[in-house]
């Protein structure tokens, strides 16, 4: 079967779920507004510029998970999904996913954003396979560390290759849909790279390489 791979943030959804989760924590008074909001915005800008220190960001982003029980985190996540994520779901993205499903393709989301945030979002699109940065969970508490490598840039390629070995899937005829130049290592690996509502850096490369370019927000 053909593998159809999708980035999540600003590709299947019309915003960045990692950044939105941080803002949700601020708005709910779960973290300190003055400090957290400023740092969250700085890391997001670094991501857009391609200069993100992923280890430092994960240390920052996962820390709030360590301070609360799993039950409480799930309550907040349910509220986050209903109030923040539902409005940024894209009907055109669902149609694209369904088109690949109808063709019998294997569907996979691969995202840098951690699995705690992204798993329920991916489930809304009816996609069973997810590769994401995985926060470490010990005795029903998040530790602030991750399992394996961050699912970011070359890390996406490494984790995908591990997944391919375990599942027996291949990249023959594969698609990858992404908005970000941070995903260039994986875009260059698949047979059919597709730039989706792309940032300026990716748009320029997509034009030069003759890659397909689409919008899911129209």
Active site residues: 7, 9
CB atoms within 10 A of CB 89: 15
- Given the DSSP bridges, would you call strands 212-214 and 192-196 parallel, antiparallel or unpaired? parallel
**Helix, strand or coil for residue 74?**
helix
**8 Å CB contact between 20 and 34:** no
**Matching residue, tokens 């689409």:** 214
CB atoms within 10 A of CB 63: 13
Residue 114, token pair as written in the block? 């951690």
């Amino acid at each position: 079967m053909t593998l159809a791979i999708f980035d999540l943030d600003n590709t299947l959804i019309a915003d960045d779920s990692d950044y939105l989760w941080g803002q949700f924590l601020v708005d709910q008074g779960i973290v300190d507004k003055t400090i957290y909001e400023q740092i969250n915005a700085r890391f997001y800008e670094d991501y857009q510029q391609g200069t993100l220190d992923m280890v430092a960001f994960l240390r920052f982003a996962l820390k709030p998970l360590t301070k609360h029980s799993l039950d409480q985190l799930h309550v907040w996540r349910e509220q986050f999904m209903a109030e923040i994520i539902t409005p940024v779901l894209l009907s055109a993205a669902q149609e694209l996913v369904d088109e690949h499903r109808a063709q019998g393709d294997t569907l996979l989301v691969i995202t840098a954003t951690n699995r705690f945030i992204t798993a329920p979002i991916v489930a809304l699109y009816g996609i069973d396979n997810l590769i994401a940065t995985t926060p470490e969970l010990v005795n029903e508490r998040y530790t602030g560390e991750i399992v394996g490598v961050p699912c970011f840039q070359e890390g996406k390629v490494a984790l995908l290759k591990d997944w391919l070995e375990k599942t027996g899937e291949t990249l023959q005829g594969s698609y990858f849909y992404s908005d970000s130049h941070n995903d260039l290592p994986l875009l260059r690996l698949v047979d059919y790279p597709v730039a989706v509502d792309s940032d300026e850096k990716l748009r320029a490369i997509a034009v030069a390489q003759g890659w397909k370019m689409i919008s899911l927000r129209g």
